[in-house]
Amino acid sequence: MTKQDLNILANENEFDLINKEWMLVTAGTKDGYNTMTASWGGLGWLWYKPVAFIFVRPERYTHDFLENGDRVTLSFFGDGCREALQLCGSKSGRDMDKVAASGLVPVEMESGSISFDQARMTLDCRKLFRSDMVPENFTDKATLERWYNDKPGGGFHTIYILEIENVYTK
Ligand SMILES: Cc1cc2nc3c(=O)[nH]c(=O)nc-3n(C[C@H](O)[C@H](O)[C@H](O)COP(=O)(O)O)c2cc1C
């Protein structure tokens, strides 16, 4: 993997990137990490820093690693590895070794974070902020009903704001 200037992110279509390409959110280090697929989130600026925003439900095993450590990678695969991303988005690392099963090859970054050899781009991030969504903060009650009140997909998301410290490409 080659470290790039952060400005290469300007070449990405940030609106579509996460939603259409999906990403693996990987938290932890080689001593213990977990990865999951995510398609909700964004890239932007906060506190004069380049940041990523991700939204992770508390039931995810990856949530445990996000809570307990500061290092996170967001890995993008282009059109590739779709089956691997489906697997990492439908099974839990609590129940199986998803990385081995999906054929993903873990790579330790300089920071100690983990990404995957197949990734076309990896954002090497550090956690800056976390907050749990709470029902009283939903100004649109239909969204609350649709996504949380009958718990169709689990509990209220935790919002994580991550500083993008390094960008790597394959
Ligand atoms: C395309 C796709 C996008 C997903 N996006 C998110 C997301 O943004 N946030 C989230 O909490 N879960 C999301 N999920 C669900 C998790 O990836 C899934 O529950 C996964 O099995 C959790 O794995 P874990 O328990 O090993 O962390 C998504 C799943 C798929 C297939």
**Domains annotated on the chain, with CATH:** 2-169 (2.30.110.10)
CA of 21 to the centre of ligand 1 (A): 14
- Give per-residue pLDDT as tens, 127-151: 999 999 999 999 999 999 999 986 6
Q: How far is the CA of 153 from the centre of ligand 1 (A)?
A: 10
State the pLDDT at residue 152.
Answer: 66
The pLDDT, as a whole number, for residue 154 is 85
Taking CA atoms only, the protein residue closest to ligand 1 atom 9 is 56
- pLDDT block averages, 10 residues each, the chain of length 170: 95 93 97 97 97 97 98 96 97 97 97 97 98 96 89 87 97
Centre of ligand 1 from the C-alpha of residue 38, in Å: 5
Distance 73 CA to ligand 1 centre (A): 15
The whole-angstrom separation of Cα 96 and Cα 90 is 11
pLDDT of 149 reads 82
Q: Which atom of ligand 1 is nearest to the CA of 22?
A: 1
Q: Rounded distance, CA 67 to CA 170, Å?
A: 28
Q: What is residue 124's predicted lDDT score, i.e. its pLDDT?
A: 98
Distance in angstroms between the alpha carbons of the first and the last residue of the chain? 5
